[in-house]
Amino acid sequence: MIYEEIMYGVKCDRCHEIYENSDGCTVSSDKYDMEEEACENDWQEIDGRHYCPDCYTRDENDEDKIIVKPLIHYSFFKFQSLVNQLTGCHHRMSQDDTHFILRNNYCYKRMDNPRLAILREIIPDFTLEYKVPEKQSGKPYEHEIIRIPKDFKHAI
């Protein structure tokens, strides 16, 4: 029998990262299950919005005071969805102090110049790196890593 059920998950209002628990699960049929779990794992709920650990800091003088990082320009999300479309692979986003990082650990085909040219029309100054994993099984693949400076310039 096939049945349909509504599931609920938690997405970061700033970077759109989806909360995933230690079992690799992102949704639950209980509306508040994932929210509760996320908040036990350093996510924050502020005025009905949710923020992952990468998207806020704490006030130096008041540990309880949460400071949400500045909004990310929408052209970044356009860039990210185009990366996924052009490669046919989901790229996970992470951040360090200076860069947004889009990463696909199982890249079987490098991006060619025409695709890169399309991406550079949205955000010109990203870097692309391919790394051979230490161990791999089956068909050879690489890690595909795209770094975008946090103060990126955008064409649109």
Residues binding Zn ion (CB under 5 A): 12, 14-15, 17, 52, 54-55
C-beta closer to Zn ion: residue 14 or 91: 14
> Least CB distance from residue 24 to Zn ion, whole Å?
19
> Least CB distance from residue 11 to Zn ion, whole Å?
9
C-beta closer to Zn ion: residue 33 or 54: 54
3-state secondary structure of 83: helix
> Least CB distance from residue 14 to Zn ion, whole Å?
5
Put residue 42 in one of left, alpha, beta given phi > 0 → left and psi -120 to 50 → alpha.
left
C-beta closer to Zn ion: residue 50 or 83: 50
Residue in the structure block whose two tokens are 């994993």: 133
CB atoms within 10 A of CB 66: 14
Outline where the chain has alpha helix (H): 33-40, 74-87, 113-122
C-beta closer to Zn ion: residue 20 or 54: 54
- Residue 123 burial by CB count (10 A; 0-12/13-18/19+): exposed, middle or buried? buried
> Least CB distance from residue 17 to Zn ion, whole Å?
5
Cα distances (angstroms) measured from residue 123 to each of 16, 41, 109: 19, 33, 22
> Least CB distance from residue 51 to Zn ion, whole Å?
6
C-beta closer to Zn ion: residue 55 or 146: 55
